[in-house]
Amino acid sequence: MATEKNSNGYEGLLPLCLRWLKPIFAKLSTVSVKLATMAKKLAKDDSRRVVHALKVGLAISLVSLLYYFKPLYDGFGTSTMWAIVTVIVVFEFSVGGTLGRGLNRVMATLLAGGLGFGTHYLASLGGDTGRPIILALFVFILASVSTFTRFFPKIKARYDYGLLILILTFCMVSLSGYRDEEIAKLALSRILTILIGCCVTLIVCIFVRPVWAGTDLHCLVANNIQSLALFFQGFGAEFFGLSQEGEVSNDDMQKYRTILNSKSNEESLTNLARWEPRHGKFRYRHPWKQYLKIGSLNRECAYRLELLNGYLKTNQFQMPSQQIHGQFKEECMKICSESSRGLRELALALRKMVLPLTAKSHIEKAKIAAENLKSHLEEWRFEEVNNAMEIVQVVSLASLLFDTICCIEKIVDSVQELASMAGFKAVEVQSSVAPEQQMDLQDQDQYALQPLSHGAAVLLAHHAITIDEQSPC
């Protein structure tokens, strides 16, 4: 038999095939395991992705009911297809995206339909020879002008899809009109099916676990401020060799790096958020553009952190000798811990959408520490210093820290501006001793860097912020 090994040493056909197929199957199984792991990670990172996929399936299934019920299908005929197409191309991850695309599609279809009819009528005046020429001319002009219009940055951000649909529908109406006299009836059923598609999409998108681009933008900016805080907390701990409880992991510290390239993400979320209606604590005209300003300041700060991070990576930094060390360490630690605390409270206040009452005072303290450091540096008698490189490093680190604090101050100011624009509430201090006083006492005694775990941060902020405030993040 072919499956047995022949006496002359040749293998049978089946084992040969199996031998060939085995590595292929092995590879396939490796790939599918890899894919499954990635899918699991994607789903775990943001479970809304799975929900979104199911929502799209649901919306399409709902619209496809039009096909299954004979009376509905007979009414719309082949136009039923447009309901399905609309759901598929309009359904976006966020409500803002879906609303934007839906409005673009409906408005562009109506506008292009009107223009198409006009062109159709105009062309019919041209007789049998003039007709194709007039049509071709109008199609060429509209397509070229609309395509060029898509290059305007502001139009591209909000109406890009609408312009595409404008060209598409205009061509379909004006050209199909050339042969089809039932165009009016067709156009009506097409617009109806598009409207049905849009409505089903919006209902599913808004009422089944909605994803608001505005909330995402708000939380993104708050999280970015939190990442800056984590860096300072970790920098203080790692650089000065203090590892207390609530230490920041290296991954947490490096989170600030995502801020460096967050611009395009923030811009697109802002554009989407502007389509969204009032939701949660966000009013209809929430100052979305202010988030771009805060985001840009966050990036300015992150550029500086990138350099500070360089000090950690090189390991070339020589700690200054003892007589400088004490003052230097103390002030630097104070700068790091106060900056971290201020930013953390700012992030928390932004998350909870309340006025950031205490953040500014922390940054003021960090500034005072920076000024002290500056005057210490000025008072040093440099002849006492053993190694000049020591000074170079100490001074450039200090200078970078000054610069970063100025940046952080601007972030605090712009968040306060946002808070007043959006009418965030000031929440009363509940504790009998103001947290400021507590900290001042501690400061006089001995100031130590206190890395705060997330729980501790909430506890600290609890003095200033009532618990019942519901955070959108």
Helices (H), 69-152: 70-76, 80-90, 95-124, 127-149
**Residues 12, 72, 73, 257: which binds a second copy (CB under 8 A)?**
73
* Listed residue (274, 262, 272, 266) closest to 291, CA to CA: 266
Sign of CA dihedral 382, 387, 388, 391: negative
**Residues 11, 72, 75, 85: which binds a second copy (CB under 8 A)?**
85
Residue list 360-399, contact with a second copy (CB under 8 A): 374, 377-383, 385, 387-389, 391-393, 395-396, 398-399
Applying CB under 8 A, which part among 17-25, 100-108, 243-251, 256-264 lies near a second copy? 256-264
Instruction: Give the list of residues 6+ apart from residue 130 with CB closer than 8 angstroms, or none.
Output: 123
| Binding flag, residue 84, a second copy (CB under 8 A) | yes
Q: What is the DSSP code (8-state) at residue 93? A: S
**Residues 14, 145, 441, 448: which binds a second copy (CB under 8 A)?**
145
Q: Dihedrals φ, ψ of 253, to 5°?
A: -65, -35
Task: Pick the closer one to a second copy by CB: 32 or 147.
Answer: 147
Structure tokens that stand for 349 in this block? 């206040």
Closest distance to a second copy from the beta carbon of 289 (Å): 17
Closest distance to a second copy from the beta carbon of 140 (Å): 4
**Residues 13, 18, 50, 433: which binds a second copy (CB under 8 A)?**
50
**Residues 18, 307, 441, 448: which binds a second copy (CB under 8 A)?**
307
Closest distance to a second copy from the beta carbon of 162 (Å): 13
Residue list 444-473, contact with a second copy (CB under 8 A): none
Closest distance to a second copy from the beta carbon of 66 (Å): 9
Check if the beta carbon of residue 233 is closer than 8 Å to that of residue 247: no
Applying CB under 8 A, which part among 84-92, 277-285, 350-358, 432-440 lies near a second copy? 84-92
Q: Could you tell me how many residues of this chain bind a second copy (CB under 8 A)? A: 78
Task: Pick the closer one to a second copy by CB: 52 or 329.
Answer: 52
Applying CB under 8 A, which part among 13-21, 54-62, 200-208, 326-334 lies near a second copy? 54-62
**Residues 39, 188, 203, 441: which binds a second copy (CB under 8 A)?**
39
Q: Looking at the DSSP assignment, which residues form a beta bridge with residue 425?
A: 354
Closest distance to a second copy from the beta carbon of 417 (Å): 22
Task: Pick the closer one to a second copy by CB: 391 or 429.
Answer: 391
| Binding flag, residue 323, a second copy (CB under 8 A) | no
| Binding flag, residue 310, a second copy (CB under 8 A) | yes
User: Binding marks (x or -) toward a second copy, 393..432, rule CB under 8 A?
Assistant: x-xx-xxx--x-----------------------------
| Binding flag, residue 61, a second copy (CB under 8 A) | yes
Residue whose token pair is 């007043």: 420
Task: Pick the closer one to a second copy by CB: 316 or 322.
Answer: 316
Closest distance to a second copy from the beta carbon of 392 (Å): 5
Closest distance to a second copy from the beta carbon of 71 (Å): 13
Residue list 113-132, contact with a second copy (CB under 8 A): 132
Give dist(CA 134, CA 211) in Å, integer: 46
Phi-psi region at 448: left, alpha or beta (left = phi > 0; alpha = psi -120 to 50): beta
Applying CB under 8 A, which part among 76-84, 120-128, 227-235, 445-453 lies near a second copy? 76-84
Sign of CA dihedral 36, 40, 41, 46: positive
Residue list 270-299, contact with a second copy (CB under 8 A): 299
What Rg do the C-alpha atoms of the chain give, in angstroms?
A: 32
Structure tokens that stand for 213 in this block? 């681009």
Q: What is the DSSP code (8-state) at residue 259? A: H
Closest distance to a second copy from the beta carbon of 233 (Å): 22
Check if the beta carbon of residue 176 is closer than 8 Å to that of residue 183: yes
| Binding flag, residue 38, a second copy (CB under 8 A) | yes
Q: Looking at the DSSP assignment, which residues form a beta bridge with residue 354?
A: 425
Per-residue CA distances from 53 to 8, 195, 330, 411, 473 (Å): 58, 22, 53, 37, 22
Closest distance to a second copy from the beta carbon of 169 (Å): 10
Instruction: Give the list of residues 6+ apart from residue 327 with CB closer than 8 angstroms, or none.
Output: 373, 376
Give dist(CA 51, CA 236) in Å, integer: 41
Q: What element of type H or E holds 315?
A: none
Q: What element of type H or E holds 54?
A: helix 48-68
* Listed residue (328, 334, 335, 331) closest to 380, CA to CA: 328
Closest distance to a second copy from the beta carbon of 280 (Å): 24
Task: Pick the closer one to a second copy by CB: 73 or 240.
Answer: 73
User: Binding marks (x or -) toward a second copy, 163..202, rule CB under 8 A?
Assistant: -x--xx--xx--xx-xx-----------------------
**Residues 11, 12, 88, 252: which binds a second copy (CB under 8 A)?**
88
Check if the beta carbon of residue 101 is closer than 8 Å to that of residue 89: yes
| Binding flag, residue 261, a second copy (CB under 8 A) | yes
- Half-sphere exposure for 77 (CA within 13 Å, toward CB): 6
